[in-house]
Amino acid sequence: MAINIREHDLFKNEVKDMVIADLALSFAFTVIFSGGIGTGALRFFIYFFPMSLIAVSLSFILHEYMHKRVAQKYGAIAAFKKSDIGILITLLSSAFGILIGIPGATVIYTSTFTRKEEGLVSLAGPLTNFAVFAVFFTIGYATFGSSFTSNILDTFGSAVLQLPYLQNIINMTLLISIILAFFNMLPVYPLDGSKVFRWNRGVFAAVIVAIFVILLFIMPIYALLYSFIFMLIISLFFAFVYRNIRIF
């Protein structure tokens, strides 16, 4: 099939952009799970990085890939593009013990999307995170029994060393997948939630409620409220950085 210059420019660096963004986000999550640079906890870096790379690759890459596939199904041109500024922000923020993870996004070119199609393309990413969460929760429960659900948050800090390595991989994947779903479903443009909300408020509400139920299952209410406020602030910053690009 013929491809025009614009499409060629969009696709030619897509794999490289995705790999760079994935490594940057994995590095940032590793720093966060290690306790940040200032605490001296980076001695755990080698231990955490493979886990983080697996979790981020499954949660982040699949999220973006499904946006692309569904967008292409509706006739759009779509490809992932890294953001150099976003990667810098991602890495610098993790060094201070917080994470503003904005290494890039799926860029979509179309003028023919209906509101429903736009909503479905947007929903594809968070639903992929749900699928990743469900698969790894099932694996964790089948492998370690009901007790593994009580120590998912033990992936943070030195307590992680008391758990089997496979369990830590599962825990980290569960956390990252649902955190990405939570962040992306916030109703702040250009995040996924804003377009799902515009298309169908019932669907938006159902997804948000499901995310909150899952998060309440794995973290205390005060931590959930703190996370919500923090992610809302990040989403507003994200909207400012990407305000001139149509993304999903």
| Any domain includes 246 | no
| Helix, strand, coil shares, percent, the chain, to 5 | 75, 5, 20
| Any domain includes 144 | yes
Beta bridge partners, 77, equal 109
Mean of pLDDT values over 42-65: 88
**Which pTM was predicted?**
0.84
| Any domain includes 94 | yes
With contact defined as beta carbons under 8 Å apart, do 24 and 92 qualify?
no
pLDDT digits (tens, 9 = 90+) for 118-135: 999 999 999 999 999 999
pLDDT digits (tens, 9 = 90+) for 60-107: 999 999 999 999 999 998 999 998 988 998 998 888 777 888 898 898
Query: Where on the phi/psi map is residue 110: left (φ > 0), alpha (ψ -120 to 50), or beta?
Result: beta
Domain range for residue 89? 5-241
Mean of pLDDT values over 170-175: 90
Highest mean pLDDT among 75-79, 93-97, 159-163, 197-201: 197-201
Count structural domains, the chain: 1
Q: How far apart are the C-alpha atoms of 139 and 4, rounded to whole Å?
A: 44
Of residues 217 and 103, which shows the higher confidence score? Answer: 103
pLDDT digits (tens, 9 = 90+) for 13-41: 899 999 999 999 999 998 888 766 655 55
pLDDT value of residue 21: 96
What are all long-range contacts of 224-229, with beta carbons under 8 Å and residues at least 24 apart? 227/179, 227/182, 228/182
| Any domain includes 248 | no
Give, for 2, the enclosing helix (H) or strand (E): none
Q: What is the dihedral of CA 205, 193, 97, 84, to 10 degrees?
A: 170
| Any domain includes 12 | yes
| Any domain includes 247 | no
